[in-house]
Copies of this chain bind each other. A is one copy, B any other.
Amino acid sequence: MAGRTGAKVDQIICTVDVVLLTLKEDQLMVALLKRNREPYKNVLALPGGYIHAEDMDARDAALRVLKDKTGIDTPYLEQLATFSGPARDPRGWSVSIAYYALVSIDVIEKSGHPDVALKSVDQPLNLPFDHKTIVDTAVARLRSKSQYSSLPCYLAGENFTLPQLQRVYEVLMGESLNKVSFRRKMTEMDMLEPVEGAFTSTGAHRPAQLYQLKPEFRRQLTLLERGL
């Protein structure tokens, strides 16, 4: 590379893209939208868009794009990585600053956006640009972080029982967890509180206490010293 005498790319296409993940029937799903313009018009892709002059930063642009295109306000959105190159977009040298967001399936269903398509990340996904790589990177990040953080809680909905939360962790980590040790870790993270007077009533079972994230953890991760 030494001695390359190249010229600056005059106009880089700079966008934000959002990998919105949710759990539906124990499947990790990604939210896709049909593109409303070329290239790849009418093809399912990640929600994304250009940065606007009034965005405070790329994160702000990602939140705006997600809200505008899917109706969803997400409590948790984090920068994933930036993907770039001369060939990933047919229009020219491009940069996508990618974010990932986690919401429970309730949030997607309540938003009632008719165009949001949920696809399992474990099925083959045929996506334009390098969106498949972006999705794979987000899923790997989520699965790895699930081992030592509160991240999976964002997929569990507003209220959940401890067995429901354990199931979310198990789906993300791809393994069964010991109930006693799972509960000890949740106590250690100190991020849950019981919802006063709220219990499930599920037929034959004893009613189970419902929990929620403590307010200070609803928009901020907590980490475990040692993994689950």
Contact = CB atoms under 8 A, between A and B. Distances in A.
Contacts of A1: 60, 63-64, 67
Interface in A1-55: 1-2, 4, 6-9, 11-12, 14, 50-55
Contacts of A161: none
Interface stretch (A82-90, A115-123, A186-194): A82-90
B2 A68 contact: yes
A50 B9 contact: yes
Nearest to A52: B6
Task: Give the number of copies in the complex.
Answer: 2
Interface residues of A, number: 37
A51 B14 contact: no
Contacts of A226: 226-227
A9 B56 contact: no
20 contacts: A1-B67, A2-B68, A4-B54, A6-B54, A7-B53, A8-B52, A9-B50, A9-B52, A9-B53, A11-B11, A12-B12, A12-B14, A14-B95, A51-B93, A55-B86, A57-B85, A58-B82, A58-B85, A79-B82, A82-B82
